[in-house]
A and B are shown apart, each in its own frame.
Chain A
Amino acid sequence: MGIKKMKKFQILGLKKQIDFITEEIMKNSKIELLKTEKYSNDFINHQVENSYKPYYNQISKMIESLNIDKKLKNIHFNELNKLNFEELDQFIKPIQNRIDKLERITKKLNIEEKRLNNLIKHVYVMRNIDIELQSLKDLSYITLIFGSLSKERYNRLIENVTELPILVLEVNREEERVWFFTFAKKNYEKKAFDILNSANFQKIELPDRVKEQPKDILNQSKHRLEKIEIIRDQINLEFKKLKHRYQSKLLKYYQQLLILNKIIDVNNKYYYESSYSFIITGWISEENEKEFKSLILKKYPKIIYNSQDVKDVKAENPPTIIENPNWVISFSSLVKLYGLPKYDEIDPSLFFALSYILLFGIMFGDLGQGLVFALLGFAIYKKRIKFIKNKDISYILMSLGLSSMVFGIFYGSFFGLEDLIPALVIRPMENIMFWLGFTVLIGIVLLIISMVLNLFNAFKDKNYTEALFSDSGLSGLILYLFMLSNLAFYGFKSRLLLPVPFTIFLAVILLLLIFFKEPLGNLLIEKKFTIDKKISEYILESIFELFDTVLGFLSNTLSFLRVGAFTLNHVGLSMAVIILSEMISNNAGSLLVLIAGNIVIMILEGVVVGIQILRLEFFEIFAKFYSGTGREFEPVEFK
């Protein structure tokens, strides 16, 4: 439970062992290495040329071209030292040549296809002209150029060609491009091309051999396109053959190179070396360390392994690994939306999960709909639903569904029908005021818990200013409780807990404590009643803060009204659906309305309630005690 204890380790060893140590670290896969550690000046970060990288890139590319799945299920580290570049070269080269050749042909085909399609498109425009195109091309005094330009460029060309004896004739126009003939006098041919090229003109060759009219060109082009398709099929077949024959061997090499390449990358990135030895630093969790340390010391007895506990969290900035039961971990992913807990902070996941489940049940209590959620979660858990593979969702859905079912039994609600089963505890719709008050009470309990958690965090952090004098510390907590008890007392007995002057006196004292938070804190730590800022600034700021605090107590508490409101909302929506279904006279129809209505409620309200709770958790609860400024643990691993 909670956050794993981390240790910072250093390994000092002989340079020749570098690769093996990296290999062990990668095998372990739960170790983070540090790059910016300061060592003595004898150690420098030495870059070695990575001769595996080109091979690795080449093989990855080949695997991609052959359409082989390169996701490796588990990575084996054996046979690493058996990699022989010569053998590899001999193996790769012929395959590479084949692939290159096939790709070259494909590319040519693509170009040819594009050209033909282009030609078809343009000749199609001229299909009704019964002149042989060839005769236009063979004019003795005039050159004919056919091609296209972007619209914008075309317009500029028209403006800019005024001084040359050139005639531009538009043939076809689409959204962004214009196709046109250019006629130029023979002795201006070069000039015409210069200016066309400067506008990035794309020339379209009119076919040489064809002597016929446009429609014959069309037929011929179509025929050639069909041929291209046939060649394409053959190429695909070739690719499949290659894949079939070399897949396993390629993947074997790929795996070796993946590891070797990564080893060198890691070496270059994290290791510092002197003339004979190397040093490396990283983070490892305490439980993982035992195993890793004994393993590595047994294999390489000559290295020096050294580790220490975290002493100063701020300076060392250790990464956070949250450790929780599966169903809580799935809620952790929601906590991460706010931020990861700091290393020495209380992990709020469990509290978050429990309160989320509780609030969801209260706001969305329905035996039938809850069952649907739970079953949906179970189906995802059992991998029955193909497009959702995320386990987190299954746990969340199951626990929320169960909670919804329990509260459904309490309220006596089944698919929105209120009269099918008896209410075990209460029908919220019939006791509206009581229900709203009750949910606010739950909110008050949650708020008090989060303020207590803040006290824990602050004491753990040795931040006594925050613990004793802040608005969510001890002073704030007492003030909040004092205000609440007075309010309750007034509600029941119509008088305050203590005599009025005494009440005011106590409240003012507590407010003053919060107001002078900073100097009081300094008094405690440095034994001096001082303020770091200008006095006027501090006073102004504190007045606003105080105002915000008192107002915040009120608004945070009342914010939980929405919990009750959504319970009622749920009943209300269900009632609307039922009324709608009763309006339809035929039975099948009303059943259909009932089902559709329930689906709408489940999706619409399910989402809204989920978001509202997230809002309550993040704004009302987390803001009180949780910083969420932790750093993610980034172990050395294969991506």
Chain B
Amino acid sequence: MKKNVLLFCLFFVLLLSFGCSDGGKVKEDEEQVELLVSAAASLTDVLTELKEEYEKDHKNTSITFNFGSSGKLAAQIEQGAPADLFLSASAKDMDNMNDKGLIDEPSRIDFTQNSLVLISNKDSTIDLNSFEKIDSAKIDHLAIGEPESVPVGRYTKEVFEHLGLWEPLQSKLVMGSDVRQVLTHVEMGNADLGIVYASDALISDKVKVLAKADTEWHEPIVYPGAIVDSSRHKEEAQEFLDYLMSADGKLQLEKFGFK
């Protein structure tokens, strides 16, 4: 009796496994691919919107994002976290990844750019329309990213140094640990002025843009993207990267303050 039960079980298991592999063969052409994209936090809004559109046109691809600071994402991938595509906000992190052989080098491309803007609270009465006219005597606090550790702060410092404002503004600078904090200080009216990425200023309805920094004043703020070397879906990853570079993709990015 016992033997019979065992045999029956074995038969059942065999049948089950057969059935499965069989079904797999039939659907191979339309296999669902889950594309894992590690992307810089500043891309959150644009990518989330873009994803819907993209998945409509690419029925067999579903995209999962992992947003975070570029440095942390790079470290995750280095530790073996699964990812197909890496969209970074800093060339430095991408360079590091490249040096360690973690990305597919030929696929690397700067897919968009960001710019720096001078913002104030929406209700602010400050009359200012250019970076050069910032008068240290007329403001209490200017919020920026910490220049040594936050990318936006590094670019800001370059701008002020270029304009000869870094020293005069020293005592007015409030430094945030990320661009979000800089935005918060201006949104809540605690800092008179702030300097953030154009894309950040665009998504906040509590701030207004007073001026745009000339791209000549700082290193270009580029967003490099590349396929992760260990990816098993390189084809689909390339397809998504191409989409970002396409006219459709560019339009979406521009809508969110990128160019």
- Do these two chains interact? no
Which residues does A use to contact B, with CB under 8 Å? none
